[in-house]
Amino acid sequence: MLKERLYVIKIGGNIIDDEQRLGAFLASYASLNGKKILIHGGGKLATQLATTLQIPQQMVDGRRITDAETLRVVTMVYAGYINKNIVASLQQLGSNAIGLCGADANLIRAQKRVHETIDFGFVGDVQQVNDAFLQTLLQQNISVVIAPITHNGEGQLLNTNADTIAQEIATAMACYYQVSLIYSFEKTGVLLDVNDESSVIPQLTPSLYQQYRKEEKIFAGMIPKLDNAFRAIASGVHNVTIGKAEELGKLVSGQTGTTLTHD
């Protein structure tokens, strides 16, 4: 039997920081027919609030070290301010949205990251997704909006990478749906020339990706995202599309952006 389509859409930080672009994105998202899950990042709002509260922010390898005070800030900003405002906007747009973090209904269980040399603080690596509960919401045509905060089951909230959450959710839901995972951000897709927005690679397969990587044609910053994306495909996700948030309608139909598929 053909599985129903499910869109798992990650919306990046730069869009969230821009009220107008976020509004345009949410309008496209709301008008998307069918089952859908939205995962949002945090953007600069958390950093701004931490700065105002004089909580020093430490970044290691592009990742935020999350001490107790910073965890409090990201919990407030991601799971509170951003999540609830997105939900209220989607409700206005006629999309019956519900905003959750990973602790809610045990949606995403994670473990505190253990690293040989770096103490990342309250950062979580995803262990398990409560796919059965997500499915009960989707069956009611509720669109789920997920903030990148998880928990360890022992009372501890954990700051967790939103790209990874999107991948884990997409993979977990592949048993019920034909899942399209969409990473929407400020670029038009995976570029052969990072300075040329028209150099989008329209299609990538695992073998083509390996070839481009050998030829060093893939921008280093995209590699973790693409590695995650191909892992999702290897685990049953139907396709992954990467492209501009403002073109969501075209992205989901594969008319723009970069689409990753099986070989």
* Cβ-contact 144, 38 below 8 angstroms: yes
Query: Could you tell me the smallest distance in angstroms from the CB atom of residue 46 to a second copy?
Result: 10
Query: Could you tell me the smallest distance in angstroms from the CB atom of residue 152 to a second copy?
Result: 8
Query: Could you tell me the smallest distance in angstroms from the CB atom of residue 154 to a second copy?
Result: 5
DSSP string, 214-261: HTT-S-GGGHHHHHHHHHHHHTT--EEEEEEGGGHHHHHTTSSSEEE-
| Nearer of residues 112 and 231 to a second copy, judged by Cβ | 112
Binding site for a second copy (CB under 8 A): 52-53, 72, 75-81, 83-85, 87-89, 91-92, 96-101, 103-106, 133, 136, 140, 142, 149, 151, 153-157
| Nearer of residues 47 and 239 to a second copy, judged by Cβ | 47
| Nearer of residues 104 and 168 to a second copy, judged by Cβ | 104
Query: Could you tell me the smallest distance in angstroms from the CB atom of residue 35 to a second copy?
Result: 15
**How far does CA 103 lie from the centroid of its chain?**
17
* Cβ-contact 158, 126 below 8 angstroms: no
Rounded Cα distance, 9 and 169, in Å: 10
| Nearer of residues 139 and 210 to a second copy, judged by Cβ | 139
Query: Could you tell me the smallest distance in angstroms from the CB atom of residue 4 to a second copy?
Result: 20
- Nearest of 184, 16, 166, 13 to residue 102 by alpha carbon: 166
